[in-house]
Structure 1
Amino acid sequence: MTQENNDAMMSEKEKLLAEIRADYGEEETSGKEKTSGAGGTPSEESYLTDEELEESISPSPVVTKIAEPLPKYGPGFKFVPITIGVTAVACVLGHIKPITYGIPGAAWLRYTYIGFGIILFIIGIKLIVDALTNSALNENLQMGKLITTGIFSKTRNPIYGGVIFICTAALFFSGNAFMYILPILYWIFLTKLMQATEEPLLEERFGADYRDYRTRTYRFVPIPKK
């Protein structure tokens, strides 16, 4: 930068300082005192110093508030190991007599259960894989954004839904009708857990955006609401 440019900048700065002093009713002098009256005694009025004036016209730093990252695994993730454990125990018990096969003499029904279980297992695996491979998942979580794309546009909790489908499939494979009550209990338990933990937090954080998202999707079933 040349000396002429420096002089020009200093001149502009002095003009700006002078205008600010004029706004405060201050004479173009340095320091805090101003003489007034015939005796020339200092008045009790106080004025900004040059340093304070320069500070007042300096741009204030812009503070950007960064949203707190969202956890990848929400409060309901404790449901996963519990459900898997209960399902494993139920499958073992399902092969112990006298509770083996809850519907005696209905062999054809067992094959129906197995076929239905295969379908549920495939759906459950796809839900979990689609959720974990969502390209925007980690980025949006780190930025604290609500995820509503990909599989999340069809269901709000694809991972939990996938776990329910897989565990239900395992129970169908066991062929014990006495154990088929468990998927209903899983559904009720996880619904209550979401209502008490994750959903209030998301509604508080995202407000109307989350409420609108909630009206368009189910918790666990990958079928968008109409």
Structure 2
Amino acid sequence: MKWIDIPPAWLALCLGLAWWQAVHYPMGLSFGGALADFLGGLLVGAGLVLMALAVHEMRRQRTTIIPHREADALVQTGIFSRTRNPIYLGDALILLGCILYWDAVLALPLVPVFVWWIERHFIIPEENRLRRQFRADFARYCQKTRRWV
């Protein structure tokens, strides 16, 4: 069951809940049509770009993108010089963008819940492993680069 405990599975669950809410319980609420669709599309696109940049940088540095594995390198270049967690940030942007696009107003609280869960369940354990493995380098990285944005 551990194989399913990965961020894309949690994102898929939240996306499924948001879509379900939009289809089955819209309750007459709306973000506002074309503008919400446009903004939603921009957010999804930005999330995908962030994720692609992060994966490219991690591959370039020859380290894993799997959250529960030990890193072979502390990636601090590229998009990682702006945010320590560009893939998770991308996930959150995709979730928010889809909620806007689907007009899933009541699903909006899923975004902070998702961010909280990802931080507690993935980011903090990852950072603890990196802290043990890279010590001073990771401490300096944390001082100059924020966790989210």
Larger radius of gyration: 1
- Over the aligned positions, Cα root-mean-square deviation in angstroms equals 2.4
Is the partner of 1:218 in helix, strand or coil? Answer: coil
Q: Identity over the aligned pairs, expressed in percent?
A: 23
Normalising by structure 2, we get a TM-score of 0.79
Aligned residues: 139
**Residues 204 and 143 of structure 1: CA distance in aligned 2, closer, same or farther (over 3 Å):** closer
Out of 116, 137, 140, the position equivalent to 2:61 is 137
Query: What is aligned with 1:114?
Result: 37
**1-structure distance, mates of 2:71, 2:93:** 30
Which residue matches 1:83?
Answer: 11
Determine whether 1:216 maps to 2:137.
no
- Report the Cα distance in structure 2 between the residues aligned to 1:101 and 1:195, rounded to whole angstroms: 35
Secondary structure, counterpart of 1:155 in structure 2 = coil
In the TM superposition, what are the counterparts of 1:23-42 in structure 2 within 5 Å? Answer: none
Report the equivalent of 2:77: 149
- The reply on whether 1:174 has 2:98 as its aligned counterpart is no
* Greater length-normalized contact order (CA 8 Å, ≥ 6 residues apart): 2
- Give unmatched runs, 5+ long, in structure 1: 1-76, 222-226
- Provide TM-score, normalisation by structure 1: 0.55
Distance 2:9 2:28 in 1: 26
Q: Paired residue for 1:188?
A: 116
8 A contact 1:102–1:176 mirrored in 2: no
Q: Does the residue aligned with 2:108 lie in a helix, a strand or coil?
A: helix
Instruction: Report Cα offsets for 1:120-141 as digits up to 9, x if no partner.
Output: 1121011111112226232x55
Gaps of 5+ in 2: 65-69
* Residues 184-212 of structure 1: CA deviation (Å, up to 9, x unaligned): 11111112224541111111111121111
